[in-house]
Amino acid sequence: MNKYKVVVYAISKNEEKFVDKWVDSMSEADEIYVLDTGSSDKTVELLKNRNVKVFEKEIKPWRFDVARNESLKLVPNDTDICVCTDLDEVFMSGWRKKLEENYIKGFRVNYTYNWYINEKGQNEVTFLLNNIHPRNGYFWYHPVHEVLTSTDKEQIQTIESIVLNHYPDRTKSRKSYLPLLEMSVKEDPLDDRNMHYLGREYMYYGMWDKSIETLKKHLKLKTATWNLERAASMRFIGRCYTALNNIDEAEKWYKLAIKEAPILRDGYVELGMLYNQQKRYLDSINYLIKALTIKNKDKIYINETFSWDNTIDDLLSLNYYYLGIYDLSLYHVNKALQYNKEDERLLNNKKLIEKEIY
């Protein structure tokens, strides 16, 4: 007999291709509730066929927090544990048992979230998510990048053995994010998290000056105290200055990012990239080797995929090649090929290096 009543809740819109895999994963819960916000495909029909309790409501104007709060209202009041997921997310089998065995009543739960899984099935960006929570005393806040918020002081436990994998449709448009982020910052200009996200979004759109201005605002906020996120803002400022061909400023901000968070590879790698582009090969090698000395990959969303794939070895191989140090160039191209043995560019690079050696 189960100790607790566990209920999964979610929002959906045109998610038909995810339904079966998602329901299979969530079916360890006692009940599943979905608020559909206007699907034009077979999402609702498919969910109902799988005995999911589906309710339909359009949210106008659209806000993710309003939709999440409406979906939370569907969850019965006698529920002990609420689990909020999206339809493109899948729990590893046995999550309910691990939750039952470890759960401290009334606590919110951190668990492992594999946000980015590459084509080879390797987890490249992993961090702790905490959308498992008690029924009462919680609401969602912010029109986008919404966060689950407690109305009172909360207690949090971590169960890393519970694993949720993310398999998104990467063709899906993000065009609604920018205006929603602008709205979020306008509503709460002192929220450091969304100021950071807005600056990052401007960067994604190539709005370099706006991105720089917004990220500098983030760094000036009194609440912007998390050094790892501050370092990310500094790196993004560096990227913007690189795009604007202001190399001195870019270099300055990458070095500030390293100073802010020396435990992260990302600042070293991005500065190594910049020096490679500037043909400062020895400087590039110096910072890339420093990046490789960092072995610990913390479970945080800040981690960049290029800091942990074959990018560092690829760049080191190029740097050594241009310096005429062909044995080390060959060593690093072989290391890079271990990540993807069929990469045609790397294979061609290897042939060129071998011609110089042999």
User: Which one of 3.90.550.10, 3.30.470.20, 3.40.50.720, 3.90.650.10 gives the CATH number of domain 6-166?
Assistant: 3.90.550.10
- First-residue to last-residue Cα distance in the chain: 70
What's the half-sphere exposure (Cβ side, CA atoms, 13 Å) at 337?
A: 18
- pLDDT tens digits along 273-303: 999 999 999 999 999 999 999 999 988 888 8
Asked: is 177-308 a CATH 1.25.40.10 domain? The reply is yes
Q: Where are the domains of the chain?
A: 6-166, 177-308
Strand pairing category for 6-12 and 81-84: parallel
Average pLDDT of the segment spanning 330-355: 95
pLDDT at 118: 85
- pLDDT tens digits along 149-161: 999 999 999 999 9
Contact at 8 Å (CB) between 195 and 218?
yes
Helix, strand, coil shares, percent, the chain, to 5: 50, 20, 35
- pLDDT tens digits along 114-124: 999 988 888 88
- pLDDT tens digits along 7-50: 999 999 999 999 999 999 999 999 999 999 999 999 999 999 99
Strand pairing category for 138-141 and 147-150: antiparallel
Task: Calculate the CA 303 to chain-centre distance.
Answer: 8
Return phi, psi of residue 46, to 5°. -65, -40
Q: Output the CA torsion sign for 103, 107, 112, 116.
A: positive
pLDDT at 1: 56
Q: Is 61 helix (H, G, I), strand (E, B) or coil?
A: coil
Give me the residue label for tokens 């084509």: 119
Return phi, psi of residue 139, to 5°. -150, 160
